[in-house]
A and B are shown apart, each in its own frame.
Chain A
Amino acid sequence: MREVQIDSAQQAQAEEKRVGVYICHCGGNISDHVDVEALCARAGQAPGVAVARTHMFMCSDPGQEMIIKDLQEGKVNRVVVASCAPSLHESTFRGTLQRAGFNPYLYEHANIREQVSWVHHGRPATEKATALVAAAAAKAARLEPLEPIRMDVIRHATVIGAGVAGLQAALDLASRGIPVALIEKSPFLGGHVAKLDNIAPSNEKASELLTRLTRQVLDQPAITVHTCTRVVGFAGCVGNFTLRIKVDGEQGQDEGKKLHSMPTKTPRRGVFLPQYGVVTGSCPENPAEDSIETGAVILATGFKPYQPMFGEYGYGRHPQVVTLPEAIQALAGENGSHPVWHWHGRPIRNLAIIHCVGSRQIPGVHEAAEGAALNEYCSRTCCSASLGFANQVRENYPVTRVFEFYRDIRTYGRGQEELYQRASKNRVLFFRFEAQEPPRIESNGTGSESPLQITVKDTLTFGEEVQVAADLVVLAVGMKPNGIDDLVEMMKLPVGSDGFLLEVHPKLRPVELPNSGLLLAGTCQAPMDIGEATNAASAAAVKASGLLARGFVELDPFVAEVNLEQCTGTGACVVACPRDGALQLAEVAVNGKPFKKAQVSPAFCLGCGACVAVCPTNAINIKGWTLKQYEAMVDAIVADLAA
């Protein structure tokens, strides 16, 4: 229990507040419309004001020197400068106080240029300036020194998920000398990329790319790789988290068993196994638990491909309807010696690819699986992956014809439009359909050459109904976020309506979570391709590195603060607080007796003040913006010093 001593008498004899008011002419910008000398004379009369002076340019060195001199001679200990907008010079004058050896927060700004001399004229301008200066002085007389909140952090980071995003983030952090724990639930490194073959649009081999990346990770002494491991417990706040991890291969059990029954017998560390990933060693026989003390956590848990529903484009009903990942796997196994591609020994003369399966679903048009929401988003990678696949088929098996059924071709990125152009050159045939009228897949009946027939209203040929025979139908399935409900629950992660983890700001802060110290990398945040996932991973790593680099973090002091003497422990503030973990009731021993009092966790507090409004005794306030200060400002405004 926290113990505090409250001595009311001691609080009463606080230091005497002497406010200095400094008014700027701004070279006529202010003084042409505001009677600066009259303003100065009146400001000198305001309660608490010890000194009032003017200067042609307060922000100039002589202007600032004037303030420093008054502070150092003890004439004043609170400062108000009346000049331009605070966005321009508030930080300048806070710096002035600091140079004089004072706390920079003993400063208040009065905005008499943008909000007075540039918008009002004549006597009303001077009157308003007077009221604003009096209000600022009233606030200044109630200012207390503030210190930024400083917290020590553990120079260690944890990355959850060892797909390309997680691997890249771990490498980047290690390059800055930060020790990293890389946690992967399966026995392999590489995530979904291990299931790919030729990577669009650069045409690199997935195996080469992963071998290169994982070798660096395995050779990096600062990275500890934990495969077959899951996070089972989470506590703490930015800079000081504790993760409980469980090593048991439980999750990766199926794959783990396969690992042991591999033909390679004892797979060597660093070896790439197609479809699985890079081996780090065998899964431990006996489960074990451990804990990790870490300063920041990067989530890189990735995605899973959309699983079509039974009957969706004939999936499950016809064995010739498969998903793109399945088709990529099959094609990768072939050697291309035959002019026709063969699938399980069967020649594929006509290959159809259908785009947007499980993506871009429209309410009222598409139906969701039971208990699931529609996937209204575009999965972003399937267009390029499909075209890359189509080109690979056409270029290796010239007799196999390829037909693509699409809604929009989204080859937006560098090198992607070229894939589309190459597909046209390779004579891949394109049909475009509307979401309302998707292609229909039917059995062709016995006797016909191809087992399936696709019917579509093609909007590229003025809505003509077209029929295409197909030996194989490939569904370009989209991305769904990986199931991480346990982590979401444990770490209180925000999830968007699309099921992906939700960043702080969709434009400006894509890799940050509102939970300070937790970051996002790769496809757990949104669909993206490999290049974008590794960019996001590096961006997340730079944020984590910035947080951990100095060994401590400093946060703005403008957070809630409880006056223990006034707090009666109603807990109203706790209910009003919008931020989990920022405010709670805690037992406090006041002068030896136990009480329930509100307690702020500054690392979590947003400083919004929702708590302030609901406290019946005004025992909680935002430092630097207290309710008393505002009331004093209103009093000064209505007092009409100018009248």
Chain B
Amino acid sequence: MRLEAKIEVDAVVIGGGIAGLQTALDLAEQDYLVVVVEKDASVGGKMIRLSKVFPTLDCASCITTPKMAAAAHHENISILTYGDLKSLDRSSDGRLEAVVEKKPRFVDEAKCIGCRQCEYDCPILVADENQGGFSARKAIHIPFSNAIPQVATLDVDHCILCGRCEKVCPTQAVDYFQQPQTIRIHAAAAVIATGFQMTSLHDKPQYGSGEITNVIDALQMERLLAPHGPYNRVLRPSDGMEPDSIAFVQCAGSRDRSMGVPYCSRVCCMYAIKQAMLLSGALPLADITIYYMDIRAFGKNYEQFFQNAQAMGIQFVKAKVASLAAAENGAVEVCYEDQVNGGVTRTSHDLVVLSLGKIAAWNPFGTCPVEVAEDGFIRSVSPRLAATLTSMEGVFAAGAAAGPKDIVDAIAEAGAAAMKAASYLSACHRPKQARSGVSINVKPQPSRAVAMG
């Protein structure tokens, strides 16, 4: 038998990345009740998994965690993690209904105190996707150190049902028989903030189809560079060697119709420059090369960041990389046409990072009648004056869900989506329902600073 719950709110935000959290906070500050639906076990999106952010080189965790906590503690915001959006559509009463299946964590969220006893006792090691697959985690685990909520999640695919976690849990929170729960969310407005994902390395035969061990993607490099990363150092995956020569391949899957992503992914130039700078700090003797078509350092202070990188001795080579091949001793051979000096050139590097293309993380087809544009991202019906308006009345889009975007642009757009949703809500009748009963593990704070924004 399925458990069902109903929630009445003013607005539902789909996606708990930085854009979704900012939208929720801005709506909550207008005294609207908001529920954030996140498919992962923690909110925070890509940003919480980054090392440092361009162009300020702030530690990503340090600036994301306060936003996550502010949303989790806000008395007008409920957070529903590990939820699978089944449908989002207009119901017969004209309001929106989001049907979410809360996936079983096999751990009672209300009981878990985040102590990780289960994690320590679990005998199963699995590659940790939150560390780029470079280190191991347990089959039952808390996703990462500043995850919100701090609740363990059991990964049924790897669990051998040995029963140790259940025994060791001090609060008897482990529940091997937990069932999925269906939650119906009724809201007047919805904001889609489902973000992006990277194209798959496996679809790129010219770049080794993911078979060359020392060819990694940029998110993996973020983990290698993170202060709490898998090795605490930058080591290449095949043999744990400190690489002496590292190459970045730009537009590896973007701006190329043959790769399915004709548009520019917008942030890869900047994150490659950032990673190159961080690398030259971590490995001062290493040679770092960025193969690029155009350097798109367009944001505030980005061009200056790029100029600094050149001054630091990072090599920028204008070339479209044609192919990559495994070479001797774990090296990777980069084959490109050199546009400045001419001719096909081959160079070997110890480690190659691909700036893969960004595609939409969520395809609404079959779940929600909102239109997507040709690029696969949510279509804006008024891109110049109100970019967050979608083809569905009362449904708005923000952040990378509406096209690749860096953090600051995602945050500005999140504010804009909250504004449009608030305008829409003030035009509708405001519901009088009481606050929902979703458990969020955090109780409201007694008072909050308005300046928190």
A and B touching (Cβ–Cβ under 8 A): yes
Spell out A's residues near B (CB within 8 Å).
Answer: 26-29, 57, 59, 84, 87-88, 91-92, 94-95, 98, 104, 148, 164, 168, 172, 175-177, 199, 202, 204, 209, 212-213, 359-360, 362, 376-378, 380, 408-418, 421, 432, 459-460, 462-463, 498, 500, 505-512, 516, 525-527, 530-532, 534-543, 545-547, 549-550, 553-557
Contact A534 B299 (CB under 8 A): no
Contact A506 B117 (CB under 8 A): no
Q: How far is the CA of A543 from the CA of B300 in the complex (A)?
A: 21
B115 at the interface (CB under 8 A from A): yes
Contact B386 A534 (CB under 8 A): yes
Contact A507 B385 (CB under 8 A): no
Q: How far is the CB of A110 from chain B (nearest CB, A)?
A: 17
B415 at the interface (CB under 8 A from A): yes
Q: How far is the CA of A547 from the CA of B58 in the complex (A)?
A: 28
Contact A410 B298 (CB under 8 A): yes
Q: How far is the CB of A594 from chain B (nearest CB, A)?
A: 34
Contact B262 A538 (CB under 8 A): no
**Beyond A377-B303, A421-B262, is A531–B113 a contact (Cβ under 8 Å)?**
no
Contact A534 B445 (CB under 8 A): no
Q: Within 8 Å CB of A554, what residues of B?
A: 447-450
15 further A-B pairs in the complex, CB-CB below 8 A; given A28-B117, A556-B451 = A27-B115, A84-B113, A88-B114, A98-B446, A104-B446, A104-B447, A410-B294, A459-B339, A510-B408, A531-B383, A532-B409, A535-B416, A540-B415, A542-B418, A545-B419
Q: How far is the CA of A538 from the CA of B389 in the complex (A)?
A: 12
Residue of B nearest to A356 (CB): B303
Contact B443 A91 (CB under 8 A): yes
Q: How far is the CA of A512 from the CA of B411 in the complex (A)?
A: 12
Q: How far is the CB of B226 from chain A (nearest CB, A)?
A: 17
- Name the interface residues of B377-420: CB closer than 8 Å to any CB of A: 377, 380, 383-388, 402-403, 407-409, 411-416, 418-420
Contact B53 A542 (CB under 8 A): no
Q: How far is the CB of B77 from chain A (nearest CB, A)?
A: 14
Q: How far is the CA of A88 from the CA of B440 in the complex (A)?
A: 12
Q: Within 8 Å CB of B444, what residues of A?
A: 91, 95
Q: Within 8 Å CB of B411, what residues of A?
A: 507-510, 539
Contact B383 A538 (CB under 8 A): no
Contact B63 A507 (CB under 8 A): yes
Q: How far is the CB of A114 from chain B (nearest CB, A)?
A: 11
Q: Within 8 Å CB of A176, what residues of B?
A: 30, 422-423, 426
Q: How far is the CA of A343 from the CA of B64 in the complex (A)?
A: 53
29 CB-based A-B contacts, threshold 8 Å: A29-B113, A87-B69, A91-B444, A91-B445, A94-B446, A95-B443, A172-B423, A175-B427, A199-B384, A377-B301, A378-B298, A408-B294, A414-B380, A418-B262, A418-B263, A459-B339, A463-B340, A498-B301, A507-B53, A507-B56, A507-B58, A507-B63, A511-B415, A535-B415, A538-B416, A539-B415, A546-B26, A553-B450, A554-B447
B31 at the interface (CB under 8 A from A): yes
Per-position 1/0 for B18-41, Cβ under 8 A of A: 000000001001110000000000
Q: How far is the CA of A481 from the CA of B21 in the complex (A)?
A: 31
Q: How far is the CA of A231 from the CA of B300 in the complex (A)?
A: 27
Q: Within 8 Å CB of B73, what residues of A?
A: 91
**Beyond A410-B294, A507-B53, is A545–B30 a contact (Cβ under 8 Å)?**
yes
Q: How far is the CA of A432 from the CA of B117 in the complex (A)?
A: 60
- The main secondary structure of chain B at its interface with chain A is loop
Q: How far is the CA of A555 from the CA of B403 in the complex (A)?
A: 36
Q: Within 8 Å CB of B384, what residues of A?
A: 199, 202, 204, 209, 530-531, 534
Q: How far is the CA of A82 from the CA of B442 in the complex (A)?
A: 18
B375 at the interface (CB under 8 A from A): yes
Q: Within 8 Å CB of A550, what residues of B?
A: 31
Count of chain B residues with Cβ under 8 Å from any Cβ of A? Answer: 80
Q: Within 8 Å CB of B91, what residues of A?
A: none
Of the candidates A29, A95, A412, A541, the one whose C-beta lies within 8 Å of that of B298 is A412
Per-position 1/0 for B358-379, Cβ under 8 A of A: 0000000000000001010100
B304 at the interface (CB under 8 A from A): yes
B318 at the interface (CB under 8 A from A): yes
Contact A148 B419 (CB under 8 A): no
Contact A535 B413 (CB under 8 A): yes
Q: Within 8 Å CB of B342, what residues of A?
A: 462
Residue of B nearest to A30 (CB): B115
Of the candidates A202, A411, A512, A537, the one whose C-beta lies within 8 Å of that of B383 is A202
Q: How far is the CB of B429 from chain A (nearest CB, A)?
A: 14
Q: How far is the CA of A380 from the CA of B412 in the complex (A)?
A: 16
Q: How far is the CA of A421 from the CA of B255 in the complex (A)?
A: 10
Q: How far is the CB of B287 from chain A (nearest CB, A)?
A: 21
Contact A555 B422 (CB under 8 A): no
Of the candidates A98, A362, A531, A547, the one whose C-beta lies within 8 Å of that of B450 is A547
B453 at the interface (CB under 8 A from A): yes
B208 at the interface (CB under 8 A from A): no
Q: Within 8 Å CB of A202, what residues of B?
A: 383-384
Contact B423 A175 (CB under 8 A): yes
Q: How far is the CA of A94 from the CA of B384 in the complex (A)?
A: 46
Q: Within 8 Å CB of B448, what residues of A?
A: 554, 556
Q: How far is the CB of A602 from chain B (nearest CB, A)?
A: 12
Q: How far is the CB of A317 from chain B (nearest CB, A)?
A: 28
Q: Within 8 Å CB of B446, what residues of A?
A: 91, 94-95, 98, 104
**Beyond A95-B445, A554-B448, is A510–B56 a contact (Cβ under 8 Å)?**
no
Contact B294 A546 (CB under 8 A): no
Q: How far is the CA of A414 from the CA of B373 in the complex (A)?
A: 10
B136 at the interface (CB under 8 A from A): no
Residue of A nearest to B146 (CB): A87
Q: How far is the CA of A481 from the CA of B27 in the complex (A)?
A: 31
Q: Within 8 Å CB of A177, what residues of B?
A: 426
Q: Within 8 Å CB of B298, what residues of A?
A: 378, 380, 410, 412
